[in-house]
Amino acid sequence: MNFNLGFYATTSNKSSKANILKVYDEIKDEYMKINRFMIAAPKSGSGKTMITCALLQLLKDSGKNVLSYKCGPDYIDPMFHKKVLGVPSKNLDTFFTDEKTTVQLFLDERADGDFAVLEGVMGLYDGLGGIYEQGSSYHLAKVTQTPIILVVDAKGMGKSVLALIAGFLQYDTQHLIKGVLLNRMSKGYYDIIKPLIEKELSVKVVGYFPEQKDIGLSSRHLGLVMPDELSDIKKQLNETADRLKKTIDMDLFIDIAEAADEIGDSENADVYNEKNIGNCDQNEFSQNKAINTVNIAVAMDEAFCFYYEDNLRMLEKCGAKLQYFSPLHDTRLPKDCDAMLLGGGYPELYAKELSKNVSMLNAIKKAFIAGMPTVAECGGFMYLHKYIHDICDDNDEQNKPDVQNKADIQNDMNKSKLVGALDGGCHFKGKLVRFGYIELAEKHSNFLPPNEKIKAHEFHYYDSTDNGADCIATKPATGRSYDCVISHDNYWLGFPHLYYPSNPHFAESLVRKAYEYEYRRNKNGKLL
């Protein structure tokens, strides 16, 4: 909701004006109050995502208008949130954006919900480089003043669980940990340990969850398998919610959420709206009424689905209309598109299917050669190569590094032919090639103004025969740098996943290039 007092500023009655302003302040203050909590844990693999999804379902069933957020750069956990709520989940990351911007990205959605659940990342205090607070779940909770529910995997633990919890409470300088949920614990032991925790540590125990041997989320690499790959995912999530409901004190969860402090202020909101994000829609092209809104074709299907919600919304704010298409199932690009956005995903799992869709491969290559502005990240970058070395599934014997190294990777039988807009191909390395946060600077200004950077994240087991050398990537924790990204004229191609709110000029540039491309089409006739 946007509050505009411009009309009331012309009121001559001072008393009326004062009353209006008072009402506004009251509404504004209430509006900045959103009930919320964060689900965090001492370490990865503690059950955060399943429990978060179950809580989202229970809150939804109770009539709450719930929004969800994921701490950090992860794409897959928000997909599980969306499976429950039916609306996109957003990422919040205190490395990607400064504290004020992070708060406002959070508050930006407050008109759409009255209850927020944030899911943490890794261990509660694990931030940048594993040793800094920035980028950690705790930093996000501190910045957004969000109460924390600590999910502790108590399997195989006795009273030692108290020592673990005590350590986390001692490290909690802001006193944000308001409750503890004991995962993988039996009812019998829970009845014994709960009173001890509450008496000795003065923290509420909100419930427990017995070990679930018949339900659970499988993993791939360092993350979860995508929800659409699980045929019974809705059934699993509903079953988890039903079971959790019986072992937790839901009223206590709600009490903790409702006790959360107010967050932010109007001054921060003004800074966010006018400076941090920028007025993308004020560029010269979008202000020209003679030029229609540009269309950006966004690849979205089983193979390409890794997008930050705020990236997509920023493109729309800059004047773009997003037209979603499937490289897997469609035969051509959307009509009259002016740019392409090929996001990340797992194209390697669908390489054969992608290679068989020759019509789409040709359409994308033709558009690329014609100069259509193109941003391709990770999986989308792989898709533009001549080929990808096939991978069947995570358990396939051929995917083991020792077998891969012996394979003749030049054998066309082991390759799927793809777009071919870029020379060379991509090969499975059997280990992480790049992982973690980076800052990117262009060697020659193209999508970014001179001497500016954009923040990003890398995570890939494949490598390209040509990763590009038009940008310098710097690891913020160590200062180590390396070359990457192919960036010339109308395209930006590489493995890094960009976060546009960290530098809105990137989104502005893509939309500007799309307007310029549209202008050339209108002037010279259809380019494609």
Q: Which residues are catalytic?
A: 378
The residue assigned the tokens 């004062």 is 18
Q: Which of 427, 439, 441, 375 is nearest to 398 (CA)?
A: 427
d(CA 496, CA 411): 28
| Residues forming beta bridges with residue 428, ordered by sequence position | 462
By the 10 Å C-beta count (0-12 exposed, 13-18 middle, 19+ buried), 491 is classed as buried
Q: What sign has the CA pseudo-torsion 415, 419, 425, 428?
A: negative
Instruction: Please report which helix (H) or strand (E) contains residue 82, including its range.
Output: helix 76-85
d(CA 350, CA 305): 13
Helix, strand, coil distribution of the chain in percent, nearest 5? 40, 25, 40
Q: Which of 386, 376, 409, 383 is nearest to 484 (CA)?
A: 376
Helix, strand, or coil (residue 323):
strand
Cα distances (Å, whole numbers) of residue 245 to 147, 179, 191, 391, 461 = 20, 16, 17, 40, 39
Determine contact, residues 451/479, Cβ cutoff 8 Å: no
Buried b (16+ CB within 10 A) or exposed e, 221-254: eeebbbbeebeebeebbbebbeebeebbeeebbb
Determine contact, residues 137/124, Cβ cutoff 8 Å: yes
